[in-house]
Structures are given as C-alpha cells and as structure tokens.
Copies of this chain bind each other. A is one copy, B any other.
C-alpha cells in the first residue's frame, strides 16, 4: 500500500564503522517476530537525540533524556510490541531495568544505554522477555545489519525504511546511514517515533544536539500522517568519529555544511518514507506554503491543510473538491489573513486567484492532477516572502480499518 516506496536493499546501505546491530525474536507481544534490536556503538562516539514534545512522553523517552545528559553512550536497545507509555513510575523502573540488563551483558554502566519502545500504550513492559532475548540480539550484532534493524523496529509499517549515502569531508569519504519506523500516530513534534542515523564522520559532541535538532526540523518535523503526536517519538544521531578527517568543531564550516547536507538528505528520505507508508496512504502530498510573513504561519497553514479529514478524503477520492483546502487555510489561525490575497495551485494548475476561483480553472485540469500518486498543493498567502513545506498523505478506508483493528 505504500506510495512509491521501494524496499531498501541491504547492499545499498553503507555500514558505519563503529556501529554494529543485532536483532532477535523476544516474543514481546507476539511470537516469531523480530521485536528486539540492539545497537552497539564503539567508545568515543558523539551522540545526541531529540524527543517528542508530548507531555505524556513514554518512560524510555524520559530515561533517554537523562542518559544523554551523562554522555558516553555505548548501546541502544529497542523493542516493538509495547510503547511503555502511560505506565507511570512502574514504567520508568522497567525502562531502567532494560538498560541495566543490557549494560550487564556488555560490561557498561546502565547510563551508557539508551532505551526505546514502540507499540501499544498503557500496557506493562515485559522486561523478563527483553532480558531473555538480549543474548541472541548481541550475538547477532554485525556492521551490515542496518536492514535487519529497519525490519526489527517495524510495527504497522508495511515496509522497512532505511537510506544511506556517502559524502567527502576534507578528502575523507564518510558514510551516513539511517533507519526509521512509523505509519500512524505521526505528527512528530521534535522528532519521529524511532529514527536512528549514524555517520563515521568526526563531529564534536558539543555540536551534536544542535545538529540533531536541525536535521529533525528539516525532515521529521515536517511530516504528518494523522496529526497525532506520539508519546515515543525519538530521533538519535550518532557520529562514531572514525573517519580520517579533522574533527568538525563548527556547524558553519564547509565540512559541516557538506556533512549536514548529506545527513539531511537521508533524514528527509526517512521522514518521507513514513508518510509514503502512512496507514492506508494511497497518495503522497507535498503541501508548500509561500508568501508567508513567518515560518510559524506557513506551518500553521500547511498543517491545517495536512490534518483536515475533508481535504485528505478528497485526495483519497481523487476529487478536486478544492474549496476544502481554502476552508482549511481560513481556519489555520492567522487572525489577520486577507482572503482576497490567496492563490492556490495544484501542481501546475492555478485553481484560485485572489481568494476566488480562477476563471481559467477547468475542473478536468484539477481532476488530472488529483489522480496522480504524488501531488503538490501550493498556497500563496501574499503576506511576505517566507515559505515552508510539510509532507503528508491522504485518508482512506484502510486508515480506519487499520486503526480499528490495531490491537486485535
């Protein structure tokens, strides 16, 4: 069902020196599923993460935040089948117990482990099964297991999501490889539900938090499926510092810009893959808002369009019922919006001019674009020169089916 999303090939994913990945079947919620993933990181890596702004953030998110403050991260443990969210103090203790269990097997301190969980909310995390599964996951660990990890973190995803690239930094060829998961409860507000990216580039630890934030803002923080911000959104960036170039100590240097461009490309592909695999998605929609007075108002309009059930069902139906887009622009929350300055385009088709129907607009032109699997909605606000973009999908019967049956 995913929209123009090809299955990654293991051979196209560059191993990142300093990172090994192992996957096991721990029977966390269902038997015979790869549901436990460990990521082992060599000593000396720079690590940072950004996490959900949901105030009901999951226990593992709280533990990740604590552990990242301590530094010296050496491993990650990721389970599916259970989100360990809405679980109170007991959930926090279970997230910590998971870290302690992995740390014991790797001879690390528990604070050197980051835990991640995804799955059903408000159920108790079966730490015993995770602990029992860890030896197999550790034994499985290899540098070229990125695809296995992408498979190991899937929930309602129909396809694994992994992208990789290489970039030359001061003459050294470095790798950037990442994976993500997610298909529903997607409106990341800082990062998305489980995105991991590693590079062997050398980046000072002090730059990592800002780098992670910038990458998330250009990728995961610009996608939405259903507007529901998850309790577990986590995006972690690792620089293993193995590459043969001088350490990057400023994000404004030429080397940093080259690295950031490569990393942003991977992050954006990972984020867009989540939308392409959005629950029930049949179309991939780019919502571009131009002529805004600020980024904030461009995003308000883009998200209002992207979250409107009426707009999304019209895309599903390939029905150019485009007044619904104008209505969403109108209620997006710009108090002094002047409707007589709004233009609307559907790909190359100029639908509305000065807030009214373009006299030259013909329904068959709108219909032609609406039938495509990839569509760009472009709104021009006529208020300034700022533009921004959000990626989303349509809203189909299958979304209802998937989410009505999710726990069965």
Contacts and interface: CB of A to CB of B under 8 A. Distances in A.
A327 B184 contact: no
Contacts of A88: 340, 354-357
A83 to B, nearest CB: 7
Given A316-B404, A404-B316, A355 B310 contact: no
Interface in A52-92: 53-57, 83, 85-91
Copies of the protein in its oligomer: 2
Give the dominant DSSP class at A's interface: loop
B321 A86 contact: no
A230 B328 CA distance: 9
Interface in A218-254: 226-231
Nearest to A316: B404
A400 B399 CA distance: 10
Contact of A331 (B228, B354, B396, B403): B228
Nearest to A401: B397
A346 to B, nearest CB: 12
Interface residues of A, number: 71
A53 to B, nearest CB: 7
Given A55-B334, A310-B185, A314-B404, A357 B399 contact: no
Contact of A56 (B91, B226, B330): B330
A165 interface: no
Given A86-B355, A91-B356, 17 more contacts: A56-B329, A56-B355, A86-B327, A86-B352, A88-B355, A88-B356, A88-B357, A121-B327, A226-B308, A227-B308, A228-B327, A228-B331, A231-B327, A309-B309, A309-B399, A397-B397, A399-B400
25 contacts: A55-B335, A55-B338, A55-B339, A56-B326, A56-B337, A56-B342, A83-B323, A85-B323, A86-B326, A86-B357, A88-B354, A121-B324, A121-B327, A122-B357, A184-B310, A185-B310, A185-B324, A227-B308, A228-B309, A229-B327, A231-B323, A313-B403, A319-B404, A321-B406, A400-B400
